[in-house]
Structure 1
């Protein structure tokens, strides 16, 4: 029994490892020279640059099944965040997960007392709610959901919009409430972390596991077509290879082009993440700084875009930077037209507004990662329309990717597990 997997992203690697564990002869074909797809890291001059700001939710059930957390040597964020705007910074955290922040969070005036009580109530309601129930039933936007629960406009502007905007790349909170409920539950049951060697360590570990199980991973190999029916296989340059099944585990747009499955979502959410070196830490500890301000004037007084969040990466994971430097990341939502230098100036001005007591002349732009398709858009009711792992009307062709579940690392790993089971059952 032979299976060809197209794409060595997270979903494809999980599928390959699980199929190889079942005794299947598996070959993975990846057009890039490295595994990981959208989850990769670049190492340069002692710094680690992930492909956009990404984190691992340790409570992800699929991640707990597929990954060796100890081997990843995880570095953990502090629960909660720092709410930041001009001349203002305040800590907002869950005192049940971080008792050290109890007094600061209790005194925080960026959300109301009622918001804090509603958050604790929601924590209890979602903590043990089965994931299948979260993704079933009626849907609404996150904004509508929070309004129905009675959360204040202050809570939305100062916390929900920047925090969940960072998770969904959608600061308007027009994303499905099911994404909110699932991620909120994951936050209450686990922690946020990055591997010491960068997020790219996750697919590298999955690739090692797939190879150990017997799968072959061929890098720099571009698949131009796939076929199902009586003679499944793929075209690789001028070569045609046959297989008992083909698993398409590419990005959504490439998967749609290869399979003509138009249920694959291609509506995109993008972002730009810049990485900076500074001489001194920001003093925010191991918490993300959320931009609670509105859009602001850019360099030269032109309308500009401010970063949605700033992250003290090397404070969380010292391995991300040399011993004598601090590494920050700043993420802009969407696909801003500004140049890298103009975006960097926006970050410098934003930090200067948040920290009027400091100068940021030492802020050095090191790397810019532009991700026009970082996630697929997840409006309300999208989950009922996502494709199955079995490609319709094309026997022998299967789909593996987060787009069969939801846009997350957890979904990509879950899709890889499910497609391996589907292939094995069918063959």
Structure 2
């Protein structure tokens, strides 16, 4: 049988599924993807609302991600760079702190910010230097503790932990207490040190579309949810049975495979609000962090501080909430608007859209960077992919998709 004649099916058209299809194509196969929604992207999508590009949840791509460098064409994505730092709102006053080695414009603001001591700033540079010497594999083999314990062990002051590290990494890890593994913290910190946070000109959803455009021999079935994956077939929600030689589940598999029913992935959630404003309170492309413990919002970012393909004419403001709350959507919106006015000086915000991202990041313990292709094999013909297998990052999603495809290819050869 020719490779292109094998019935290879992929469930899910997120990053993992798209990378799996790319690897399979590169090896001569012609897979088919079954996607429940009407577009590619999974958790990384961009909507167009009143002319504005709204990413479903504030996200960035770290340009130093190894698999992003391997599979993405940065030039065609027209990546827009964010400054390596943050504007920290303390007592409603903005103070800027950042990496002066990579952005000279941040030298004076950082020195005179009053955020953290001079030894704290030296420790940050020292941490960058130490992690630069380690491979990402080395980092994920180190002893695991919490991010908070890691920072305390490294001698950072309580002030800089509370005013910078907590709000900054809470927005990345989607939990307010820095309970996330120290491995993840050091990996992300290394990626920030070796590259930049970037956003494609057409929004984060363009990454998925970019990968999909690379597929030449893959058929994607949209609006086609899968009910069950078995040996030799997948069952659609419509009850149609599709014959397979092998399958990759590039989404949460617990509901699709009978022997995984009690192994459902636990998820972190967040709220993301978008507003239109007349002007920006942060002119440069840099994230704003809110440190006040009474504030519900964690971070803000003006998407119109970088070039965008589509623009509604004014300024687009993204607001992220990572704290757990029992407030109704109306009550939460009111609290967010109050916080914007009280802590960030934003009083003219017109509400555009609210996203509650129930499954924003998987909760994983312990964390890993690598996975052998054989470890993605669940049964003789079923393979698993997704960041939930490794660590909650776009890099892990791409790496796991690659490994699942390689595992499937090896199994078919055998």
Give the TM-score band, short-chain normalised.
over 0.9
The answer to whether the 8 A contact 1:248-1:400 is kept is yes
CA 1:307–1:261 in structure 2 vs 1: closer, same or farther (change >3 Å)?
same
Return the match for 1:409 from 385, 394, 399: 394
Return the match for 1:216 from 216, 219, 225: 219
CA drift of 1:390 comes to: 4.5
Aligned to 1:371: 357
CA 1:70–1:132 in structure 2 vs 1: closer, same or farther (change >3 Å)?
same
CA drift of 1:289 comes to: 0.5
Whole-Å separation in 1 of the counterparts to 2:114 and 2:241: 64
The answer to whether the 8 A contact 1:82-1:288 is kept is yes
Return the match for 1:4 from 9, 29, 52: 9
The answer to whether the 8 A contact 2:376-2:385 is kept is no
Return the match for 1:205 from 210, 226, 229: 210
Q: Which runs of 5+ in 2 are unaligned?
A: 1-5
Return the match for 2:337 from 348, 351, 358: 348
Whole-Å separation in 2 of the counterparts to 1:346 and 1:121: 39
1:158 paired to 2:163: yes
Q: Which runs of 5+ in 1 are unaligned?
A: 297-305
Higher mean alpha-carbon deviation, 388-397 vs 398-407, is at 388-397
> How far does the alpha carbon of each residue in 1:210-261 deviate from its partner, in whole angstroms, 9 at most, with x for none?
2x2x111110111111112xxx2211222211221110011x3xx1111234
Whole-Å separation in 2 of the counterparts to 1:194 and 1:359: 24
Aligned to 1:300: none
Aligned to 2:267: 268
Whole-Å separation in 2 of the counterparts to 1:359 and 1:132: 43
CA 1:162–1:286 in structure 2 vs 1: closer, same or farther (change >3 Å)?
same
Aligned to 1:173: 178
CA 1:391–1:22 in structure 2 vs 1: closer, same or farther (change >3 Å)?
closer
The answer to whether the 8 A contact 1:194-1:317 is kept is no
The answer to whether the 8 A contact 1:314-1:320 is kept is no
Aligned to 1:326: 315
**Which secondary structure state, in structure 2, belongs to the residue aligned with residue 371 of structure 1?**
strand
Aligned to 1:338: 327
Q: TM-score, normalised by structure 1?
A: 0.90
1:234 paired to 2:234: yes
> How far does the alpha carbon of each residue in 1:123-163 deviate from its partner, in whole angstroms, 9 at most, with x for none?
10011311111111320000110111001111111011110
CA drift of 1:340 comes to: 3.2
1:21 paired to 2:7: no
Q: TM-score, normalised by structure 2?
A: 0.93
Aligned to 1:301: none
CA drift of 1:86 comes to: 2.3
Return the match for 1:315 from 305, 313, 335: 305
CA drift of 1:263 comes to: 9.0
Aligned residues, how many? 405
Aligned to 2:147: 142
**Which secondary structure state, in structure 2, belongs to the residue aligned with residue 23 of structure 1?**
coil
Whole-Å separation in 1 of the counterparts to 2:374 and 2:196: 30
CA 1:389–1:322 in structure 2 vs 1: closer, same or farther (change >3 Å)?
farther
CA drift of 1:281 comes to: 1.1
Whole-Å separation in 2 of the counterparts to 1:22 and 1:387: 18
CA drift of 1:319 comes to: 3.7
The answer to whether the 8 A contact 1:175-1:378 is kept is no
CA drift of 1:27 comes to: 0.5
For the aligned residue pairs, the C-alpha RMSD in angstroms reads 2.0
CA 1:141–1:116 in structure 2 vs 1: closer, same or farther (change >3 Å)?
same
Q: 1:28-67, aligned counterparts within 5 Å?
A: 28-67=33-72
CA drift of 1:283 comes to: 3.0
**Which secondary structure state, in structure 1, belongs to the residue aligned with residue 109 of structure 2?**
helix
Whole-Å separation in 1 of the counterparts to 2:346 and 2:175: 31
> How far does the alpha carbon of each residue in 1:102-133 deviate from its partner, in whole angstroms, 9 at most, with x for none?
11111121211111011010010011311111
CA 1:335–1:207 in structure 2 vs 1: closer, same or farther (change >3 Å)?
farther
CA 1:105–1:12 in structure 2 vs 1: closer, same or farther (change >3 Å)?
same
The answer to whether the 8 A contact 1:82-1:92 is kept is yes
Whole-Å separation in 1 of the counterparts to 2:389 and 2:206: 24
Whole-Å separation in 2 of the counterparts to 1:387 and 1:79: 34
Whole-Å separation in 2 of the counterparts to 1:316 and 1:339: 32
